Structures are given as C-alpha cells and as structure tokens.
Amino acid sequence: MNDNDSIIPRIPVGEWGNTAIVWFANTFEWLLDLISLILEWSVTTLIDGLLFVPALVLIPVFALIGWLLRSWQLAIGTVVSFLLVVAMDTWVPAMQTLALVLIATLVAVLIAVPIGILAARNSSVSAVVKPVLDFMQTMPAFVYLLPAVLFFSIGLVPGLFATVIFALPPGVRLTELGIRGVDAETVEAGQAFGATPRQILRGIQLPLATPTIMAGVNQVIMLALSMAVIAGIAGADGLGKEVVQSIATLNRPQGIEAGLAVVIIAIYLDRVTAALGRPGDYQHSLRGQLRRRQASTRADEAKASSEAPADSTA
C-alpha cells in the first residue's frame, strides 16, 4: 500500500466523467439521433457517389484536379498511385476512407473557422478556447472513441464523430493565428475608407489569412486520416477496418496494402490543400488596390484645393 493513499483520498474523476457522458446521452438523445442521421446520410451518399463512378473515370478527375491546382507532375503521380490502389484491390475501402475524411474535414472546418475568428476578435474567448484546445490535443486518440461509441453505438457515425473532435484543434488555432497576423496597416486602410468590421473581415482579413487557414485545413485532413484508421476499431468501414482486421488475423500483406493506400490518399490531399493555400498575388493586388484608392483620393483632394482659390477669386 502506498503511503500517499492514506494521506490523499482518491478523487473519482473517471466516474464523474462517465456520469456526465451518460447524462448527456440520455438527456439529448434526440439531438444525437439527429446528428447521427445527418452524418451517416452525408458519408454514405458521398461513398455511393464515389463508388458509382468507375475507378478509371474517377482517377483522371483526381489527376485533373491535381494538374489545375498544382502541377502536371502531381497529375502523373496521382494517376500512377491511384492505379496502384486499384491494382491492390483496395479501391472500395480507399473511397470509404476518403469520404469519411472529407466529411469529417468539412464538419471540423465549419466548426473551427467561426471559433477561430471569434477567438481572434475577442481576447476573452481566446483565453477560454486555448486551454480547451490544449486538452483536446493532448488527449490520447483512443479516448475519443469511448464517448463516441456511447453516443452513437458501433459503426460509421462514432468513427466520424471521434475524427471530427480529434482533428478540430489545428483548424481553430491556425484560423485565429491567421486573422491576428493580418497586417494592421491594411486593416487601418480599410477602416479609413469607412469599411464596417464585417466588410473588413470578409474583404481583408479572411483573404489575407487564407494561407494560414488552409494550413490549418491541411493539418485537419492529416489528423482526420490518422483518426480514420483508429476509427476502424469502432466499426467504421474503410482502410482503418482493413488495418484492424490485418492485426487481428496477423495478415501482414493486408496491413501493408491498406497502410500504403492511406499514405497515397494522405499525400494527394496534402498536395492539393497546400496548393489551395497559395492564393496567388491576391495580397499584393489588394494592397495595390488600396494604394490606388489612396492615390486617387489624394489626387482629388489636390485638385479640389487647386480649384478653391480660383472659385473664391471669381
């Protein structure tokens, strides 16, 4: 027996947490059922759409996206790598995982970006959000499956729910960082022209923070992919389930092929989102536009001042 046991009483934090989770599940059962219905419909619809299109038709579409957003090298690499996925007979679970990751990323971004914007514009919100994000990022990934399974039983939805919660923090952090990192002079120029805070947010801060926000989206996708594999333990279909089965049956070839397919999807999504995070010369064009407006204003003021004496003389 440890000497500390007689000095410090045990605090049943786990029991309190379990009680809170059970209470939430029972009290908001209707809300959880609605969320489950929406999430399951979204993922299954996207999976059906991806699998409805033949692989040899969908792969050129992926390659075209890579070519338009990045380079022809990415397009060629996309064709070769996804043909390898088809040749390994992992196309169906790969599309299931891709659909899970895309929906999880969409939900996480829809939650993270508004919270990040609010935290960037309000220091009190930021002070509350930061420790919560620290807690979420340090929590082991497997722990998120416990409330997810209790809320939504076994299947696709608990895996998606756990993936969203696990992948959320980088989106919030980098959105706040991007908004706070916008040049103050540019914001002041917008205010000088009479722009409202909403117009400044939409027309200046969000466009200029796009590279940082897209870096957050990139991190959300990578975390969602890592969690999607773990979600296979909760019964979510896809490459994660293939990995879990390979471990249970000691089927090393199956595990290697599923893991390689995950890597291929991760590289493709990483390159595409990285390309989306480089919005060209928007920042320069915006600043140039502000400079042109300032120059035009100064020219009008100079013209007005030069015409004033003539008018008074007349």
Query: Percent of the chain at pLDDT above 70?
Result: 86
pLDDT digits (tens, 9 = 90+) for 160-192: 888 888 888 888 999 888 888 887 787 778 777
pLDDT over 70 (residue 290): no
pLDDT over 70 (residue 52): yes
pLDDT digits (tens, 9 = 90+) for 27-37: 888 888 888 88
User: What pLDDT sits at residue 160?
Assistant: 86
User: What pLDDT sits at residue 80?
Assistant: 92
Domains of the chain: 10-52+88-302 (1.10.3720.10)
More confident residue, 277 or 268: 268
- Whether pTM > 0.85 for this model: the answer is no
Q: Three-class SS string for the chain?
A: CCHHHHHCCCCCHHHHHHHHHHHHHHHCHHHHHHHHHHHHHHHHHHHHHHHHCCHHHHHHHHHHHHHHHCCHHHHHHHHHHHHHHHHCCCHHHHHHHHHHHHHHHHHHHHHHHHHHHHHHHCHHHHHHHHHHHHHHHHCCHHHHHHHHHHHHCCCHHHHHHHHHHHHHHHHHHHHHHHHHCCCHHHHHHHHHCCCCHHHHHHHHHHHHCHHHHHHHHHHHHHHHHHHHHHHHHHCCCCHHHHHHHHHHHCCHHHHHHHHHHHHHHHHHHHHHHHHHCCCCCHHHHHHHHHHHHHHHHHHHHHHHHHHHHHHHHC
More confident residue, 116 or 4: 116
User: What pLDDT sits at residue 141?
Assistant: 76
